Amino acid sequence: MNKQWFTLPPAPKYLSEDVSVGFITQLEAGCTSVSFKVVLLHCRAKIRTSLELEVFSSETGEWIAYSIKSDLSVLGSGRLSGVYLNNYLHWIGRGLGIIAYDPYGSPDTFRFIPFPDGFNSSSKRGRRSLCGVQQGCLMLCEMLGVFDLEGFSHFKIWVLEDYKANRWLMKHSIKKEDVIVDDKLLVKKLWVEPAAFHPYDPDVIYLALDGFDLVSYNTRTRRGWNHLVFQRNVKRGLKGIESFHGHHAFWLTSHYGLFLFHITYFRSCA
């Protein structure tokens, strides 16, 4: 990395559409980045039979638009960033499954990974879900009842144990009564959502409480600890950048909630 910033040319449809962004690099000798691509997935308010994307290539300096037809109805889910694994970027598609897209190897097609059994695939209110990577495996977390008076009812975690066969395994189903934070039962929260999976520890998931508190929760011990508390910056919508354990950067925006970014490479699950 050269630690330099530069501005990309504007994408043709970016300002007129709700998009989700994905970033992917091509490596040389397993560690040196030789090129990158930025992917904009256009998120539709209605289900359609095509996937609309725009891809910027550092090699050409240009954007290319793709419209991929599919027998499956597809719908991108909000503004969540694409999750990288096995040369694919992954997005949660509302209603059907996970959209997997490889802008280097197959930019004219996409792969669809069905949701696991027991996953509430509807887009009803009262549910928040998260897609991430943990120890080289694709993960899903679903939190239910987040609009209830008690904050949430329970959450579930799945791991895609066989990536090629689309075989999911549910690892945890945890009730709110089993969530203890700072040695206390989790009190009523107006907003609770999964923020990130710990990339190294298979027992840890991060939860965002009321959009400003970050809790690392251990699914094995059923204990959590509040690590960061942010204060709202109304004018900028962004309050600082914090480091955690020397590997991650956390920040909060008024629109996107709490994010955890890390730079890690794993062997993927079989």
Per-residue pLDDT of 106-115, as tens digits, reads: 999 999 999 9
Q: Could you tell me which residues come within 8 angstroms of residue 216 by beta carbon, excluding any fewer than 6 positions away?
A: 198, 204, 205, 206, 224, 225, 227
Asked if the structure places residue 256 within a domain, the reply is yes
Q: Give the best-scoring range by mean pLDDT among 14-18, 147-151, 160-164.
A: 160-164
Token pair, residue 243, equals 């480091």
Same structural domain for residues 52 and 137? no
> Mean of the per-residue pLDDT values for the chain?
75
pLDDT over 80 at 172, yes or no: yes
Same domain, 93 and 167: no
- Last residue in a domain, options 81, 114, 147: 114
Q: Which tops the pLDDT comparison, 11 or 237?
A: 11
Indicate whether 29 belongs to any domain: yes
Q: Do 190 and 184 contact (CB within 8 A), yes or no?
A: no
Angstrom distances, CA of residue 65 to CA of 36, 102, 270: 16, 14, 32
Of 114, 132, 160, which residue sits at a domain end? 114
Cα distance between residue 5 and residue 61, in whole Å: 15
Q: Which amino acid is at 252?
A: L
Is 104 within the bounds of a domain?
A: yes
Measured from the Cβ of residue 159, the count of other Cβ atoms closer than 10 Å reads: 21
Q: Which residue has the higher pLDDT, 63 or 207?
A: 63
Q: Is the pLDDT of residue 125 over 50?
A: no
- Taking residues 212-232, report their average pLDDT: 72
In a domain, 229, yes or no: yes
**Does pLDDT of 197 surpass 60?**
yes
pTM: 0.78
Same domain, 52 and 138: no
What is the spatial distance between Cα 63 and Cα 55, in angstroms, rounded to a whole number?
5
Q: Residue 250: beta bridge partners? A: 242, 260
Confidence of residue 227 (pLDDT cuts 50, 70, 90): low
Structural domains in the chain (count): 2
Q: What would the pLDDT profile of 238-256 be if each residue is shown by its tens digit?
A: 333 333 333 333 333 333 3
Domain boundaries, position 138: 123-270
Asked whether residue 248 is domain-assigned, the answer is yes
Of all residues in the chain, the percent with pLDDT exceeding 70 is 65
Round to whole Å and give the CA distance between 198 and 94. Answer: 24
| Look-up of token digits 């040319």 | 9
The mean pLDDT value for 201-225 works out to 82
110 and 129, same structural domain?
no
Q: Are residues 71 and 170 in the same domain?
A: no
Residues 247 and 147 in one domain: yes
In this structure, are 268 and 163 located in the same domain? yes
User: Per the structure block, which two tokens stand in for 73?
Assistant: 């109805």
